[in-house]
A and B are shown apart, each in its own frame.
Chain A
Amino acid sequence: MKKLMVVLLVIGFFCISHDALAKYNFVNGNNWVAVDAYGISKADKTNIKIMFIKSAIEPAFFNGRPLVENKKDNDYTSYVKIIDQFYSSSENRDMPLFFCVRIADMKLGNSSDLEINNFRLSVMQKLKQIGLE
């Protein structure tokens, strides 16, 4: 009876954790594109998008592992432009914004399209493997 209870508890735990993970949605292209739907000025939209980028960068920066390496001065608008372009393709919408900022940084750092595409594919593959995409 005890063994049965333990087995049931383990199965229940895996079901709940898998369910919780499956329902989790990252901040991604859908959130990014939703900003464009707000009835506000273009400058405000850009500001909101910059806030998203800064939020993605902050934890990595304060933990000593900067996410971006190719930022010039206070300029995040170049990142916004690249991410806008990236998310304009519906097949990229599921890519978490965190990785998208990294891709934008790679583009600004003159990484080749092949390198960027390999990074994108590896991220998507990894997320699929762990059931987060």
Chain B
Amino acid sequence: MKIGTRRILNALLLILPFVVLLLLGFGLRRESAHVALKPAPSAEKVVKIEPQFCNGHDWQLIDNLSISAADKLNLKAELFKMQIEAGFLEGTPVLSGNALNPAFIAYLDNFYRAEENADVPVFFALKIAEMASKGTPDLIIQKFKTSILDRLRTAKIIQ
């Protein structure tokens, strides 16, 4: 092979990785532009509207039943237990600490007395009760509650 041809080949081999990188970069830019041009999926199509969950209205319904106070407390404890169990059997515990703490029922009673909390599902109310029992500041609890309600309303899970 002539010296001139070898030099040209060497130069080509030297340039080749840069050319490949250049082409790859160009390809990636085109791909990202293509992705960006795709319309974002509409939130309306993704959201599946679910019916109401167990919340303050149900809690009030129990309070209005013509049964003894002990039976009401028992019913609430069973609903509470059902939530804990469902979380445990489904694989993600609802609460991190003492699961069957009777003080949580009293907290929920108090929590659902406020009309503004009636739409908060019991699932989240239990989390709030646990936060309160661990001494979380009231401001953080309020922010947590507001963000939960906002998200559930945005997703049209609650009204």
Binding site for B on A (CB under 8 A): 26-27, 31, 38-40, 44, 47-48, 51-52, 54-63, 65, 67, 71, 73-74, 76, 96-99
Contacts and interface: CB of A to CB of B under 8 A. Distances in A.
B85 A27 contact: yes
B86 A73 contact: no
Q: Chain B: interface secondary structure?
A: helix
B89 A98 contact: yes
Q: Chain A: interface secondary structure?
A: helix
Contacts, number: 87
A54 B53 contact: yes
Contact of A59 (B50, B79, B86): B86
A44 to B, nearest CB: 6
Interface residues of B, number: 30
B83 interface: yes
B121 interface: yes
B82 A60 contact: no
A62 B89 CA distance: 14
B123 A62 contact: yes
A60 B86 contact: yes
B136 interface: no
Contacts of A56: 82, 85-86
A48 B58 CA distance: 8
Interface string B79-107: 10111011101111010000000000000
A71 B121 CA distance: 19
5 contacts: A47-B61, A58-B121, A59-B90, A63-B90, A98-B82
A55 B61 contact: no
